[in-house]
Homo-oligomer: A and B are copies of this chain.
Amino acid sequence: MDEWDYQEIDRGVASGLIICSVLLLAGVVFGGAFLNFVSPMSVLIVVGGTLGATLVNFSLYDLKHAWTAFCDILLTKEYHPQERISYLVRLAALVRKNGLLVLEDEASQTSDRFLSMALRLAVDAQNSPDIRSILETEQRASVEKASHAINVFEAMAAYAPAMGLIGTLIGLINMLGKLEDPATVGPAMAMALVTTFYGAVLANMLFLPVAGKLRNRSEEEAIVKAITIEGVLSLGKQENAVVVEQKLQGFLPLAPAA
């Protein structure tokens, strides 16, 4: 739960993106005609068109949030339900020994905004139904936010290949319209296909995997938060550490890393 862990680059995501990039570069360079793959017009049509369609489809707020979510998944944020359970069980023992106020210290030490908020509430609030409703509202809010970002990336994964097709059609129609010199047919068609290529790469090596990652992370996050809510409510009632552990283990089957 220390801040360092949080700031590290996610090795899975990073290596996935690097593998894809290296393979593309190798495939392109290996053919000996790197310049065939450079087409500013194609970039404009695919990237610009996807952006344009997405701007119509979503509000600026949604796009901004999707960008934040994308940056976020580059950083390790592996959710460890088991670790969170052990942590909460340790706190339960501590609270029984030293009272609820020890949670104040813990709240100020953790880098996890949700955990910190939950611990502070456990110390401050008198009646637990309010804590539960506040924390569950918070939990639903982050699930909702994630689902908006997933929608944005899935829409982009659908628009990008379509823009690739549109760009390729523009290239083909231009080429076929002036079919005089057969020698120019090949390069012109190559140019036209580059747009399809960009669209396919963006959708399948970026947008779809990112949307999938966001979905997986959102599910894991929801489980860790559910564990935290139950755990903190138990802390507030100063329940026995063994009881707390037994109660929280019930969430594990839902967690992928169980």
Residues of A that sit less than 8 Å from B by CB: 11-13, 15-20, 23-24, 26-28, 30-33, 35-37, 41, 44-45, 48-49, 51-62, 65, 78, 133, 137-138, 140-141, 144-145, 148, 155, 158-159, 162-163, 165-167, 169-179, 183, 185-187, 189-190, 193-194, 196-197, 200-201, 203-205, 208-210, 212-213, 216, 249-250, 252-258
Contacts and interface: CB of A to CB of B under 8 A. Distances in A.
Given A57-B212, A212-B57, A133 B27 contact: no
A12 B174 contact: no
B55 A16 contact: yes
A80 B58 CA distance: 15
Contacts of A190: 172-177
Given A56-B209, A173-B190, 20 more contacts: A12-B55, A16-B51, A16-B52, A19-B51, A19-B55, A23-B45, A30-B41, A31-B171, A31-B174, A37-B173, A49-B205, A56-B213, A57-B208, A57-B216, A59-B256, A137-B252, A145-B258, A166-B204, A169-B200, A176-B186
B173 A13 contact: no
18 contacts: A12-B60, A16-B55, A19-B55, A31-B170, A31-B174, A53-B208, A54-B209, A56-B210, A56-B212, A59-B256, A61-B257, A62-B216, A65-B256, A140-B254, A173-B197, A175-B190, A176-B187, A179-B185
A100 to B, nearest CB: 24
Contacts of A60: 11-12
Contacts of A205: 49, 52-53, 166
Contacts of A141: 252-253, 258
A18 B183 CA distance: 36
Nearest to A28: B170
Nearest to A74: B56
Contacts of A13: 55-56
Nearest to A46: B23
A255 B148 CA distance: 10
A141 B252 CA distance: 7
Contacts of A58: 12, 212-213, 216
Nearest to A204: B162
